[in-house]
Amino acid sequence: MNLSIVDIFIYCSTALVICISLFYAYAKYKLSYWSRRGVKTPPTHLIFGNFGDSLTLKKPPSEVLREIYNYADPDDPYIGFYIFHKPMLLLRNHDVMKQIFIKDFDVFPNRRFGSANQRDALGLDSILSIQQPRWKYLRNKLTVALSGQRLKNMFPLIIECGQPMLNFMKNLSMSSSNKTEVKELSGRYVTDIIASVIFGINATSFDEKKDAFWKNSLNIFYGFMRSMIMIMIFFIPEWIPLFGPTIKIYTNYFRKIFWDSMNSREKSGYKRGDFIDFLLTLKNEEQDPIYKFEGDHLLAQSASLLIAGIEATADAIAFALYNLARHPELQATLYDEIQTHISGKELTMDLITEMSFLDSVLIETLRLHPPLPIVDRIATRNYKLLSTGLIIEKDIPVYISINATNQDPKYFSNPHDFIPLRAETGNKKFYESLAFGLGQRSCIGKLQNFITRKRYVVIFSFPFYIHKCQIDIICTIIYLKFSGQRLGLLIAKVALITILSNYILDYEPSKKDDKGIIHVFTYAADGLYVQLKKREKGA
């Protein structure tokens, strides 16, 4: 049968129309998932759903989620949205968040982050994304590594990294422009600390001729391809196997650094009080088949703290310095507190815990600028939310937009202003912890370890004979006071104390400072710049 060009054109056109019609019908049905359940959604794109601006790199995911959050009515407990055609649920009510992330943890024990590829021992089979029940075993093992006593052992290593930063700042303050990008400053500083306490090496990040560790850590986060991979890992983990080689491309450098340190330490028997010492202990213990501390499983623990620690802590320091430069009266208050507590004394963890305004500055910084502005979980079975009757089906992800939640005028007056001494409200404790996650899968550095509390019960129960419940409350307070310094916050506090003891920060307004960059983490695309002025008497 001979077909003319016209016939071929007609057949092809008809086939194309049929395909487009079928796709349209399929897409419309998939994108009606939430409306069929009575859940409000923003207008959706037929292909990208509600995430087109992030997938096409027009806006960072945090801003897209903020817009979705704000599209809902003020009292809506949640709002539905789609990434391509997959339905997601964005929570908007504190009680609903606590219900899902804390009370019903057994239904939502896993993160969606990286959940599609648990076979990647180095990148996605670590504490960051590992699934239950292996997560609980690993968490119990690693929590000991960041106990209060171990942090005290690491504290001198943290203090040591302050001097290279001060030398670097001295050269900057003497330059003609005297304008410092504090994210780079804090990034180099935190990299030195992470390299020291987690990898057991001196990274020399402030020496541009010897800063290989710093430059390789930048490669993990920065660049067009890395931005795309980060968005994919957090929001489209099903695609991870397609980019496996690209994800692992920068691991060889850190693998060599890690094993050189481990092998040298094991051979010499030298104890430094850092994370390498702890991993050697795990390596030499009897192994449980559920998760064996060997090979890349050992490296994965250091790598996860590198990934979670450098960007999050450097962001917190940078935005805190930036906000203090913009508010000289708050900077003066913090300087006075620092001088009151440490003038003429050696800096210790116990002195740091007494600085309440320093706490408030960092908490408010994290409220306004959460380093990782999302929290996610995924349902392991169908779940009925009792307060609304909504059925969250198995494998449906739920998200919290931290920046949108913590800047909601429903919960905060003047939500976009930097006000460290916000009034104590029922919401304050909630947002203080939200930047570290929520529930049992929050940041491992929270250190709320029942075993440690129980130890204090034994110590204090004998001489006082207090009712058992009262003992537990008292001992929890004591424990949190002496051991509750999260590693990231401890590093940030030491940085602020070190810098403000020696320099005054000045701010010059710039229209570009608050512009976002396309990444999962919170960045200022054009940098966070302050001017440094040496104090007459540095500490």
Q: What is the per-residue pLDDT across 143-173, written as a single tens digit (0 to 9) for each?
A: 888 788 888 889 999 999 999 999 999 887 6
**Are 522 and 372 within 8 A, CB to CB?**
yes
Higher pLDDT, 368 or 129: 368
Domain boundaries, the chain: 93-447+484-534
Q: Count of H helices and E strands in the chain?
A: 22, 9
Query: Pick the residue with more confidence: 466 or 274?
Result: 274
Q: For residue 245, what are the contacts with CB-CB under 8 A and spacing of at least 6? A: none
- If you classify domain 93-447+484-534 with CATH, what class do you get? mainly alpha
Question: Is the pLDDT at 190 greater than 60, yes or no?
Answer: yes
Mean pLDDT of 32-58: 93
What is the predicted pLDDT for the residue at 470? 37
Task: Of 76-80, 119-123, 223-227, 434-438, give the lowest mean pLDDT range.
Answer: 119-123
The pLDDT assigned to 445 comes to 53
Name the residue with higher pLDDT: 113 or 481: 113
Least confident of 287-296, 306-315, 330-339, 373-382: 306-315
Q: What percent of the chain has pLDDT over 90?
A: 47
SS3 434: helix
* Residue 391 pLDDT: 96
State mean pLDDT over 515-535: 70
- CB-based contacts of 459, cutoff 8 Å, min separation 6: none
Please give the pLDDT value at position 123: 55
Instruction: Return the pLDDT at 476.
Output: 32
Helix (H, G, I), strand (E, B) or coil at 180: strand
**Stretch (H or E) spanning 424:** none
Query: Tell me, what's the pLDDT at 427?
Result: 64
- The pLDDT tens digits for 8-21 are 888 888 999 999 99
Residue 384, CA distances (Å) to 33, 41, 79, 96 in order = 16, 20, 16, 12
pLDDT at 444: 62
Residue 141 above 70 pLDDT? yes
Residues contacting 492, CB < 8 A, separation 6+? 313, 316, 317, 320, 362
Nearest to 383 by CA among 133, 130, 96: 96
Query: Average pLDDT, whole number, for the chain?
Result: 82
pLDDT surpasses 60 at 286: yes
Q: Which residue has the tokens 């937009």?
A: 401
Encode burial over 438-448: b for 16+ CB neighbours within 10 A, e otherwise. bbbbbbbbbbe
Which residues are within 8 A (CB) of 472 and not within 5 positions of it... i.e. 6 or more apart? Answer: 453, 457
Tell me: the pLDDT tens digits for 194-238? 999 999 999 999 998 899 999 888 887 776 677 777 788 788 888
Q: Give the pair of three-digit tokens for residue 417.
A: 């202003």
The closest of 68, 33, 43 to 399, measured between CA atoms, is: 68
pLDDT at 520: 64
Say what the pLDDT of residue 378 is: 92
Half-sphere exposure of 194 (CA within 13 A, CB side): 28
pLDDT of residue 23: 92
pLDDT for 341 beyond 80: yes
Q: What is the DSSP letter of 49?
A: B
Report yes or no: 305 and 154 within 8 Å, Cβ to Cβ. no
Residue 83 has pLDDT above 70, yes or no: yes
Of 62-66, 200-204, 498-502, 510-514, the poorest mean pLDDT is in: 510-514
CA distances to 92, 130, 226, 388 from 372, in Å = 17, 18, 15, 29
pLDDT per residue as tens digits for the range 440-486:
887 665 544 333 333 333 333 333 333 333 333 333 333 333 333 47
